[in-house]
């Protein structure tokens, strides 16, 4: 039976919508990442309150039936890896039994909850930091004390990177709760690392000197590795790590010396166009391909260590630190605040998106020029 969604309205009960005739009910719920949509017709002779109450009971029955149909729900030996796979399917591209991407009511392909670069990044993170500790463990056997030990193993990472572990782990255990494999999550509030924004922001002294030292270090360490060199030079010129690692060759306009950060990979959810720095262009041309992802590198932690060994590069050097360094050094060159803000990809809710896009192209031409003067290149 086809569902005329426009004829149904929300009730105060989650997953239950009622038809305008007050008799038919539409149940829309998810089990283990799989969506179920069912219609149920109540007894017209009952009061509206009774019909809604009965609808709640019917929804519970349907959820239990759906749970039984999913083999994983009945598998008490399911591991964290198993539920990680379920989470990946839930967040990824939705396909039918024939492998075709599902479409929405407007005939457009349904967008995944995790973008392609997000998916790639999260898979790499899980494999690198989480899997060795929890992957093979039965999810019902994971204890709270294990997360205390786990936190010690990732304590060397930046606060934001530490917190990312729980952005992946919490949904995994929530799925297990939904499937009634466990009743409560072993992850407690105190396990989740807390970021102290003010403490993370560091005042950069001698910014110009460090700016030059870092630039020299990047080009020296990765003189024979143009891919790594391009990654860090993009960060040097203000880009966020995720923005860099998600770039595709189609995003680079070598003819006009521009590149675009797509809204799907942007923290501010808008397309942003920037001027392509000459040093980045040079590195990219050394391994240029016609299409696909530019960078094959997923985890750059070890590469930080190599650059930190160079003279004048401080231990706090990270992608985010480079953004702070660029602002500190370029402001010393007299670059206006508006140009620095545009270089970083900041947005102003009071300004038109179109204007911001045009401004970034012009502003990054200014910051690129100032950077070249500062570096005497």
107 and 189 share a domain? Answer: yes
29 and 108 share a domain? Answer: no
Q: What is the DSSP letter of 293?
A: B
pLDDT one-digit tens code per residue, 62-114: 888 877 666 544 577 889 999 999 999 888 877 766 667 777 767 777 778 88
Helices 207-221 & 301-308 angle (0-180, nearest 10): 110
Are 192 and 166 spatial neighbours (Cβ–Cβ below 8 Å)? yes
Query: Beta strand pairing status for 16-19 and 258-261?
Result: unpaired
* Nearest one of 140, 168, 142 to 154, comparing CA atoms: 168
151 and 223 share a domain? Answer: no
Measured from the Cβ of residue 26, the count of other Cβ atoms closer than 10 Å reads 21
217 and 186 share a domain? Answer: no
244 and 303 share a domain? Answer: yes
What's the domain count of the chain? 3
- The answer to the question of residue 296 being in a domain is yes
CA distances from 58 to 26, 42, 132, 255 (A): 11, 10, 42, 62
253 and 173 share a domain? Answer: no
288 and 157 share a domain? Answer: no
Tokens 């690198």 belong to 128
pLDDT one-digit tens code per residue, 113-161: 888 778 888 999 999 999 999 999 999 999 999 999 999 999 988 788 8
CATH number of the structural domain spanning residue 178: 1.10.150.130
- The answer to the question of residue 75 being in a domain is no
- The answer to the question of residue 202 being in a domain is no
Last residue of a domain, one of 25, 43, 69: 69
Range of the domain at 147: 80-195
pLDDT one-digit tens code per residue, 35-74: 888 999 999 899 988 999 999 999 988 888 877 666 544 5
Question: Does residue 303 have a pLDDT over 60?
Answer: yes
- The answer to the question of residue 93 being in a domain is yes
Report the C-alpha gap between 346 and 360 in whole angstroms.
10
Compute the chain's Rg from CA coordinates: 26
219 and 363 share a domain? Answer: yes
116 and 251 share a domain? Answer: no
- The answer to the question of residue 74 being in a domain is no
Per DSSP (E only), the strands in the chain are: 8-10, 16-19, 24-31, 34-41, 252-253, 258-261, 272-275
218 and 328 share a domain? Answer: yes
- The answer to the question of residue 54 being in a domain is yes
- According to the model, what pLDDT value does residue 231 have? 96
Last residue of a domain, one of 164, 195, 226: 195
140 and 238 share a domain? Answer: no
Question: Does residue 353 have a pLDDT over 60?
Answer: no
Report the C-alpha gap between 92 and 115 in whole angstroms.
8
Q: pLDDT over 90 for what percent of the chain?
A: 46
Maximum Cα–Cα distance across the chain: 85
106 and 55 share a domain? Answer: no
Last residue of a domain, one of 195, 228, 256: 195
């Amino acid at each position: 039976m086809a569902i005329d969604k426009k004829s149904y309205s929300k009730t105060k009960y989650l997953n239950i919508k009622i038809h305008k005739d007050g008799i038919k009910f539409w149940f829309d719920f998810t089990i283990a990442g799989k969506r179920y949509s069912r219609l149920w017709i109540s007894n017209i002779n009952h009061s509206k309150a009774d019909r809604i109450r009965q609808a709640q009971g019917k929804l519970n029955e349907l959820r239990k039936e759906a749970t039984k149909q999913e083999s994983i729900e009945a598998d008490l030996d399911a591991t964290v890896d198993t539920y990680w796979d379920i989470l990946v399917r839930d967040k990824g591209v939705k396909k039918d039994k024939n492998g075709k991407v599902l479409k929405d009511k407007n005939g457009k392909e349904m967008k995944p909850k995790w973008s392609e670069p997000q998916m790639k990044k999260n898979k790499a993170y899980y494999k690198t930091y989480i899997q060795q500790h929890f992957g093979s463990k039965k999810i019902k056997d994971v204890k709270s004390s294990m997360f205390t030990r786990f936190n010690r193993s990732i304590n060397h990472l930046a606060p934001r990177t530490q917190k990312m572990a729980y952005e992946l782990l919490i949904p995994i255990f929530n799925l297990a709760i939904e499937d009634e494999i466990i009743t409560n999550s072993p992850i407690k509030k105190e396990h989740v690392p807390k970021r102290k924004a003010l403490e993370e922001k560091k005042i950069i002294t001698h910014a110009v000197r460090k700016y030059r030292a870092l630039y020299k270090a990047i080009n020296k360490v990765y003189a024979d590795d143009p891919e790594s060199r391009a990654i860090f030079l993009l960060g040097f010129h203000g880009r966020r790590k995720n923005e860099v690692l998600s770039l595709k060759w189609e995003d680079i306009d070598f003819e006009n010396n521009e590149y675009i950060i797509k809204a799907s990979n942007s923290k501010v959810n808008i397309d942003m166009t920037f001027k392509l720095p000459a040093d980045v262009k040079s590195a990219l041309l050394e391994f240029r391909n016609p299409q696909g992802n530019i960078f094959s590198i997923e985890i750059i932690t070890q590469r930080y260590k190599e650059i930190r060994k160079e003279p004048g590069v401080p231990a706090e050097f990270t992608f985010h630190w480079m953004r702070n360094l660029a602002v500190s050094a370029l402001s010393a060159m007299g670059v206006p605040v508006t140009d620095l803000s545009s270089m970083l990809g900041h947005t102003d809710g009071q300004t038109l998106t179109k204007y911001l896009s045009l401004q970034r192209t012009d502003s990054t031409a200014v910051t690129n020029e100032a950077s070249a003067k500062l570096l005497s290149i």
